[in-house]
Amino acid sequence: MFGFLLGEALRDLRRAGRVAISAILLITLSLAALGAFWLLSSNMSEAVTQFRERVKLVVYLRREPGTAEASALVDRVRTMPGVGAVRYVGKAEALGTLRQVLGKDAAVADTLPQNPLPASLEITPTAEGATLEGARALVTRLTALPETDEIGGGVEWMERFAQGQRLLWLFALGVGAVLAVAAILTVTTATTLVLHARRDEMEIMRLVGAPEHVVRLPLLLQGMMQGLLGAMLAIWVLVACYALIGPRIEPLVSETLGVARLTFLRPHNVISLMLAGTLLGGVGGWLARGRPEA
Amino acid sequence: MIELHRVWKIYSVGPVKVPALSDVSFRVGKGEFVTLCGPSGAGKTTLLRLLYRDDVPTEGEVEVLHQDVGSLTRVEVAALRRSIGIVFQDSKLLPGRTVYENVAFVLRVLGTPRREITGRVFDALRAVGLSARAQAYPAQLSAGEAQRAALARAIARKPLLLIADEPTGNLDEGMAAEVIEIVRDIWAGGATVLFATHQATLAATLKQRTLTIHSGRLVKDEG
Ligand SMILES: Nc1ncnc2c1ncn2[C@@H]1O[C@H](COP(=O)(O)OP(=O)(O)OP(=O)(O)O)[C@@H](O)[C@H]1O
Ligand SMILES: [Mg+2]
């Protein structure tokens, strides 16, 4: 039975012709836009996550503690909530690092009358410690330490980045929604045409006593097929764009965002897009269903 | 099998009221062969359409297969129609499908198992002598072939009740006789038959009970 209904739906789809094609293309457009934003956004999240892992707070100390004193301080800081790892950096080590950074100009460091760099603690926050609130709380706690002179590093810029990402999503949903409504309307138009072409079939079906769902299912199915076809096209477009544009912008992206490779949509995203397309088409088919049959 | 009790059907065309059926009452028992005779515009099609609830009477009761047709839900109407085979006056063959597909379509729509379909379609086509034209489209059929294809579609489901609305409508005598023979065979197989025609001579040759209607009134019930 289902095979038969599917066959009928395919026949209808052929009859809807050009309108069905524009409906399919509109669904392609709306889902490709949604998918592209999704792709962008998931790569931005990836960047944020990587930044979080790399983010460090530096607590500059008022004076260089003795060895025993330093390890006691490290132990104390390590027990604070939000703190993942703590490393003590003495004045000498800090200067060593500076020399390395200066490279061939390292000689400049030797001209200094004394080591100007303070001793410090390098703190890697835990995941909670790396959020905006977590980092703020952590900074407050670290500032309260009598040994603390000043605190460097922060996560605020990163949060702004994440906010930008949320804004992008909102924009994507807006654009996607407008396109989706257009797509639904087009599917409805296509289905209304089908309905018109199909009224002989529907009349005979009703007159011989076919159950109502058998009379109507082909219409719904052809709508869903329009949607699914649109979604598959959209995914194909996204794959093509990813393959063509991805390698070109990867160097730029890895420089600015620190993400080495752009990732494509995950399988569950792809499945969601296909479901969304089928749903869009189904809604279009369903809306047309209630139109006059005569 | 069929019972009409004081049935009126009045069509309103704007302010004008056209009584297509006026106070019609009769019964048809199981296994009867009844001819419904009357000139063009007498109300034959109108009466038949009430039986499968394609329309409802303005007044009066219609009972078919022990069911009060007026009070049926949509699902019950569908169930009722499944036990009735109908040959429509305008045949209603789907133009985009072959004779085979037209007959198979109705079987498929009603959920006949796939493997049974081919056999049943050809049984029906053989019964009306149309096996050789199975792959023809309706536009390629002669009037008589089209009537027989419509008849094949109606009998493929082996209905308890066969309603045929002028299946011999525009056929010459020889062809009409052929179609009538087919309907008789179906009747002999146990179905109740209601056969509408505007040809009084044809009704006479059938030698069966004949209901005659004139301007919406049942004027004669004999045979
Ligand atoms: N839907 C309708 N609206 C208005 N009047 C109608 C409608 N259907 C039928 N009539 C009128 O009802 C009367 C009976 O029509 P009906 O079709 O039942 O006649 P008939 O006996 O089947 O005729 P024929 O032999 O030509 O098929 C006619 O006068 C017709 O004009
Ligand atoms: Mg008629």
In DSSP notation, A122-156 reads EEEE-TGGGSHHHHHHHHHHHHTSTTEEEEE--SH
**What pLDDT band is residue A54 in, cutting at 50, 70 and 90?**
low
Q: Is A56-153 in CATH node 3.30.70.3040?
A: yes
Among candidates A257, A264, A195, A253, which has minimal Cα distance to A223? A195
**b (16+ CB within 10 A) / e for A78-87:** eebebbeebe
Q: Which residue has the higher pLDDT, A123 or B39?
A: B39
Section A98-108 average pLDDT? 78
**B98 vs A45, residue with greater confidence:** B98
Picking from A286, A2, A207, A246, the residue whose alpha carbon sits closest to that of residue B163 is: A207
Helices (H) then strands (E): counts for chain B = 7, 10
* Its pTM surpasses 0.90: no
> Which domains does chain B possess?
2-93+158-222 (3.40.50.300)
Which residues neighbour B160 within 8 Å (Cβ) at sequence distance 6 or greater?
B65, B83, B84, B191, B192
User: Which ligand is nearest the CA of B43, by number?
Assistant: 1
Q: Please, which residues bridge with residue B12 across strands? A: B17
Q: How confident is the model at residue A138, as a pLDDT?
A: 81
Q: Are A59 and A121 in contact (CB under 8 A)?
A: yes
User: What tens digit of pLDDT does each residue of B53-76 get?
Assistant: 999 999 999 999 999 998 999 999
Q: Round the average pLDDT of chain A to a whole number and report it.
A: 80
pLDDT tier at A159, thresholds 50, 70, 90: low
Q: Is the CB of residue A89 less than 8 Å from the CB of residue A121?
A: yes
Mean pLDDT over each residue of chain B, to the nearest integer = 92
Cα Rg of chain B, angstroms: 17
Instruction: Report the pLDDT value the prediction gives residue B58, as an integer from 0 to 100.
Output: 94
φ, ψ for residue A291, nearest 5 deg: -65, 160
CA of B165 relative to ligand 1 center, distance in Å = 12
From its phi and psi, is residue B129 left (phi > 0), alpha (psi between -120 and 50) or beta? left
- Between these two residues, B103 and A192, which has the higher pLDDT value? B103
Q: What average pLDDT does this structure show over B28-46?
A: 94
- Separation between Cα atoms, residue B208 and residue B195, nearest integer Å: 10
CB contact under 8 A, A208 and B88: no
| Ligand 1 atom closest to B55 (CA) | 1
| pLDDT of A240 over the 80 cut | yes
Query: pLDDT for A163-203, tens place per residue?
Result: 777 787 787 778 778 877 877 787 787 778 777 778 888 89
Q: How far apart are CA B186 and CA B123, in angstroms?
A: 12
Q: B98 falls in which pLDDT band (50, 70, 90)? A: very high
Per the CB < 8 Å rule, is B77 touching A209? yes
pLDDT in the model for residue A285:
80
Start-end of CATH 3.30.70.3040 domains in chain A = 56-153
- Dist. CA B53–CA B42, nearest whole Å: 19
- In this complex, do A208 and B80 lie within 8 Å of one another by their Cβ atoms? no
Q: How is residue B170 annotated by DSSP? A: T
Q: B159 in ligand 1 pocket by Cβ < 6 Å? A: no
User: Does pLDDT of A157 surpass 70?
Assistant: no
Q: Which of B109, B114, B137, B165 should one mutate to test binding to chain A, selecting the residue with the greatest count of A CBs within 10 A?
A: B109
Which residue of chain B is at minimal alpha-carbon distance from A215? B109
Q: Which residue, judged by its Cα, is nearest atom 7 of ligand 1? A: B11
> How crowded is residue A51: how many other Cβ atoms within 10 Å of its Cβ?
18
Nearest CA of chain A to the CA of B53: how many Å?
9
- pLDDT, tens digit (0-9, with 9 covering 90-100), for B179-215: 888 899 999 999 999 999 998 888 788 888 999 999 9
Collapse the DSSP code of B59 into the 3-class scheme (helix H, G, I; strand E, B; otherwise coil) and give the result: strand
Q: What is the pLDDT of residue A82?
A: 80
The answer on pLDDT for A294 being more than 50 is: no
ipTM comes to 0.91
